[in-house]
A = this chain, B = another copy of it.
Amino acid sequence: MRLRLLPRDEKFFELFEVDTANVVAGAALLQEMVNNFDRAEELAHRIEEIEHEGDITTHEIFDRLNRTFVTPFDSEDIHALGSGLDDVLDFVEATADRMLLYEVGQPTQELQQLVEILVQATKEVEKTVRLMRDLSQSRRILDHCIEINRLENEGDRLSRRALAQLFRTAQPMDAIKWREIYEHVEMAIDKCEDVANILEGVVAKHA
């Protein structure tokens, strides 16, 4: 409904597409790590690099925002979207780091399942962001957002069962460590949902 008298800066879409591809790559590496734990050190290091690349893209987005007058959608939403994607990778990296730091040993099956959900959620985020170039596709955008919400619910249920299992069988100190690792994956999934909520909000404003 807003007039477009000035050319929008298309570069933002490119930056967000680079950023989301990077988030997908980070989640895929975390999955490789929890499924091949003998290569954990190497993969954690690659995740750290991916997280660093993400930081660079985030700052490029913020810098451009600071220099651009006509943005494709509200500057605060661009800012929130950049921060949200950054948060996803931060939690991916923090998960990988903690697994090594806490010396917890082989990932549990529940962790592998949680990370699978995270991988799916990041792929949905990537698809949603790609559609943002054309807000007339609001129905398809919202469908992906609903799917991200569904994945977040599934992750939540899985994580509850994983904790109950842990509290029944583990030693207190192991329970503390694994609980924190599960929580970090869950937070990464939550941040995907936050991104979906921001995009839903953008669609609502342009309806």
Contact = CB atoms under 8 A, between A and B. Distances in A.
B102 A164 contact: yes
Contact of A203 (B66, B160, B164): B66
B164 A207 contact: no
20 contacts: A1-B69, A65-B204, A65-B207, A66-B142, A66-B204, A66-B207, A68-B207, A75-B201, A75-B205, A79-B197, A79-B201, A79-B204, A101-B160, A101-B164, A102-B163, A103-B168, A163-B180, A167-B176, A172-B176, A175-B176
A190 B125 CA distance: 25
- Tell me the number of copies of this protein: 3
A156 B184 CA distance: 14
A173 interface: yes
A76 B167 contact: no
A102 B170 CA distance: 13
A32 interface: no
Interface of A: 1, 62, 65-69, 75-76, 79, 83, 94, 97-98, 101-103, 138, 142, 156, 160-161, 163-164, 167-168, 172-173, 175-177, 179-180, 197, 200-201, 203-205, 207
A198 to B, nearest CB: 10
A147 B63 CA distance: 15
